[in-house]
Amino acid sequence: MKLGELLEQLLAEHSVIRIQGEKEAEVTALVYDSRKAVPSGSAFFCISGTVYDGHEYAVTAAEAGASVIVAEREVALPEGVTLVLVPDTRRALAYMSAAWFGYPARKLTTIGITGTKGKTTTAYMVYHILESVGIKAGLVGSVEIKNGAETIAADHTTPESYLLQKYFREMVENGCQAVVMEVSSQGLKLSRVAGILFDYGIFTNLEPDHIGPGEHADFEEYAACKASLFRQCRYGILNADDPHMERMLQEHTCGVMTYGCGEGADLRATDIDLHRTDGKLMVSYRTEGALQESFSVPIPGIFSVYNSLTAVAICMQQKIPTEVMQRALSKVQVRGRLETVEVSPRFSLMIDYAHNAMSLKSLLTALREYEPKRLVCLFGCGGNRSRSRRFEMGEISSRYADLTIVTSDNPRFEEPEAIIEDILTGVKKADGDSVTIADRKEAIRYAIVNAKEDDVIVLAGKGHEDYQEIRGVKYPMDDRKLVREVVEELTGEERVRLGIS
């Protein structure tokens, strides 16, 4: 592809400072990682990261065969190599990647969801509703990418712009009509979604998070990144009950619809009912305002009301029949996000990704609302990570759960016993009972075998992960599979006592 074609949108927005060299150079590939091979004739992007600065590798890339260098500052290049000087190479990468793949986002209905919590669950809800009505959809999020033909494990909530455009292109080629994606604050800050005009931008909620070295300098920057989504979407759907909603709408350029439980929302949830059905924790409610209907969702907690309301609001804009939304939401499950694993109608067992104090507190508080006989929390903490997280999670679990089962997660290069000792330091700061079983399968066995009528058991921390990392090696381990193995290995007497058919 000609360089001029790749630069079309950047030039239209006056986002190119200067082009030095052949403006119509033929470009054979886009390269943005200095650690990877640079094909002859490629365009190399000098990305400034937290560890590497691509500008330091510009000459090396040119000598390896790059015909174009895209940079934010002057670099001395060999003769015959074109320099494209831009204010922001990450933004340039996003725009040029879109051109490279033929602007695939323009051929899809694009739904971008941002917020501190609820992005993953909401994305899956919308995805399932669209699929239920025959709208083939792609999915991009923190768990996985679905491109219409295969499922790919996700490395980031929002992929780098080149990969994102590549996935969009695959979705179009595989017959997708829409894409539902999580848009992280980092994805917005690092221009991974630059140049995309979303059809729908969604705001779930905002809490202090992702603030620190390598992320956001402060809460204001975090909020500003989130708010920028509503200057690059046609229609915004926002949580009216969140105190930061007005901040999200500063300088917005989109149409607006709101949802929530308060009177001011365009789509409101009323008559909320938390209940159990055969071991499943459910939430049901009615909607008023823009739609008068009833919905039931097999994912517990008030936040499931908000997440599903978001899905309903989006799908209303798509003119999807109410009965389709009701049917899809009544069956929806999100892998590793308050995911119900059916074991016995006498007690409830769930898997969740909660892996820090804030998310664990939110999880246990939501489950406590169902008034379980006992709330049992099984979790471990990752090795080579902040020790303070272990103390905090231990204390939260001991404070909000009746029984904490401390086990192993991803020990990485630490000894599991040392991590467990740190967790127990936190557990002892509150008054909940605790049991320590390092082997995760044996810990799950203990939780199931000792389950009581109306208990709620949550296996926290691993969520959608299907591995355990030990000394740099990832071994297969999936909480769902461990639960199945435990149940299969139960004696006849145990199965009768636990009500397992």
**Whole-number Cα distances in Å, 303 to 26, 67, 204:** 51, 51, 10
- Residue 212: per-residue pLDDT: 57
Alpha helix positions (H), 294-356: 302-317, 322-329
Q: State residue 116's pLDDT score.
A: 87
Nearest to 329 by CA among 136, 321, 150, 458: 321
Rounded Cα distance between 222 and 208, Å, is: 8
Predicted local confidence at residue 211, as pLDDT: 54
Residue 218 pLDDT: 77
Q: What is the pLDDT of residue 210?
A: 53
Structure tokens at 294: 């009833």
Question: What tokens does 128 get?
Answer: 């399932």
| Euclidean distance between CA atoms 177 and 164, whole angstroms | 16
Partners of 179 in the β-ladder:
110, 138
- Which residues sit opposite 294 in a β-bridge? 286
Strands (E), 261-344: 267-277, 280-289, 293-297, 339-340
CA distance 499 to 214: 50
Separation CA 431–CA 395 (nearest Å):
9
Tokens of 248: 């999200």
> What confidence score (pLDDT) does residue 91 get?
97
Distance of CA 492 to the CA centre of its chain: 41
How much of the chain is helix, strand and coil, in % rounded to 5? Answer: 35, 25, 40
Regarding beta strands 233-239 and 198-203, do their DSSP bridges make them parallel or antiparallel, or are they unpaired? parallel
Please give the chain's pLDDT, 501 residues, in tens. 999 999 999 999 999 999 999 989 999 999 998 778 889 999 999 998 777 899 999 999 999 999 999 999 999 999 999 999 999 999 999 999 999 999 999 999 999 999 988 899 999 999 999 999 999 999 999 889 999 999 998 888 899 999 999 999 999 999 999 999 999 988 999 999 999 999 999 999 998 655 555 666 678 888 999 999 999 999 999 999 999 999 999 999 999 999 999 999 999 999 999 999 988 999 999 999 999 999 999 999 999 999 999 999 999 998 999 999 999 999 999 889 999 999 999 999 999 999 999 899 999 999 999 999 999 999 999 999 989 999 999 999 999 999 999 999 999 999 999 999 999 999 999 999 999 999 999 999 999 999 999 999 999 999 999 999 999 999 999 999 999 999 999 999 999 999 998
Residue 464 contacts residue 353 (beta carbons within 8 Å): yes
